[in-house]
Structure 1
Amino acid sequence: MKILLLGGAGQLGVELQYAFADIGQVYAPTRESLDVGGLFEVSKCIDLYQPDIILNAAAYTAVDKAEEEVDSAMLINASLPSLLAKKTSERGAILIHYSSDYVYPGTGNNPWTEESNVGPLSVYGRSKLAGDESVLSSHCRHWVFRTSWVYAAHGNNFMRTMLRLGLKHDSLRVVNDQIGAPTPAKLIAQVTSEAIRQQIPTGLYHLTAGGSTSWHGFAQAIFRHAISNGIALKIDPGNVEGISTQDYPTPARRPLNSRLSSQKLETELGLSLPAWDSQLILTLNELLEKKYPNASSGSDILSDA
């Protein structure tokens, strides 16, 4: 089976390469060899490679910049998925596309389901929703996975940012009224590959770790686990102050409620997705083992992984 992976250098893309290695031959072109913003080139690549599965992990994720770079966000997040849906439909192939909690309005306290009304608050959210709708309304065989708060042991993400800041500062202020489920890219990739192996019904699914927390709670958990692993942080978890979204204004509005119910996916797969805090421990341990197995300080976290 031939698999074309777009966005292979990103957090999710790296994990997908591992997760799908035993499913088929994965071709993940680099940014230098294929610009995913060049739709003609992407189309040509598909025609030449003739994949059986396309994994679309490519995305414009600069949420705040998207408020000004509307065309760029729409190109990658909306026009690219539309093209991929068309090409996979022509070939009778499979398209796997990833989306975001930002397509929902962020109100209330209940988890969003796949049937919930959408209502993005930002350009980024609108661009992701446009991409979803293109895929979901297409005639291709597709799976769309909406997830939230993605991070990994590699790349740029909240976990690694907090560790860098925790090495430098003895106190921090982190938003405490945005609620969601931190979800490792590795978990997303592993569950995706299992969904393909089981051939669950096509369509839209939510895919997040279990439970929920705030960014403030996530930051405190990161620091606690790092310290328990012998990392000499400057900050104490108790010195992380919780602040409201209003106290930390950003160009793009963030949803306050990013809870996503993964019950539909769990039912189809016959499993329960693991809790976010247990996944944090695994991901942080992966980072520490890669950087320095016998950690006594955290200086190496500052370098790229």
Structure 2
Amino acid sequence: MEEKKTQNSTIYLLRKLLPYVIGVVFLIYLIHLVSFQRFAESVMRGRYEYFIPLSIFAFLLVFFVDVLGTKILIDKSVIYTPFREMLIVKSISGLVGFLNQAVGQMSIGYYYHKKSGLPFFYVGGALLLLLFIDIISLVIALGLNIKEDVITVSPLVPYLTIGLILLLPLYLIVRFAIMFLFKNDRLKVSTILMSNRIGQLMGALVLIPFTDLITILMARIPRIFLKATFMLFSLWLFNVKVPYAEGLCLTLLSLFVAAIPVTPSGLGSFQGMSILLLQRYGDRADILASTLASNMVFIIGQIMMGIFYLQKGLYLLSAKSKEADEK
């Protein structure tokens, strides 16, 4: 029995470590591909007198826009939350999310489940809605920036964009079909959805007003553009001479691939995709050095914000848990 428990613990640990192993192996392979010497030279050539202040400004701007977008979602679909409270919760979830992305998102869900008294799966569904909105905002940003030169670099870009854009009307059709079926009786739909976990998970997707959905989408798009623009500036500071329009589109595409949760924070996958798409504009070693540096800015920034707000975050969580137990 004890042996089986140890074996299960080992398997669990290996599963949790696997994304980090994949990320590190991928990075080692990419460094080997461009040669370690050329990579080291590219790292040394970076214009850090501009990169460091730009990094601090970009991270804080992107982070605060992210907090604002998440706050609007929680306000509209779960419960009103002050900006400072959301700042603390997002900081803690970012720290936890680096260790385990799923647990990072679940920590936000757990906190607002305790605060609102709504089912955990409903709050989790609201956060899934945020992920869906992020994908749509990324696709819209991609669609707005497709240029002829980009299509010659990667013919998949327009097809990928069109395919993902179809997710939006598909979602709307399902949403309106459910509401039509129940004659737009939101209370009846809400009662049915809240009666089981799958329904709770779909609750926010179906019940949130369409105007609120558009508001959240508009609040999330700037975050995508700001992050992509910073990463494009980073490429320029590492001597990758990519034109703005093409660079922005290809960086957005790389960010989309990095959003697939294979490695922590897209480490390795973002660099690999960037090299594939941008190699015609600069040396592969420069692209690797730039994308790794810009990637690390957000990883280190998240960890530092999490550590800074750790004590306040733990206090908030314990206070809400105590309030929930007393109800």
TM range, smaller chain? under 0.3
Give the TM-score taking structure 1 as reference length: 0.24
> Higher strand share goes to which structure?
1
> Higher helix share goes to which structure?
2
Highest CA radius of gyration, 1 or 2?
2
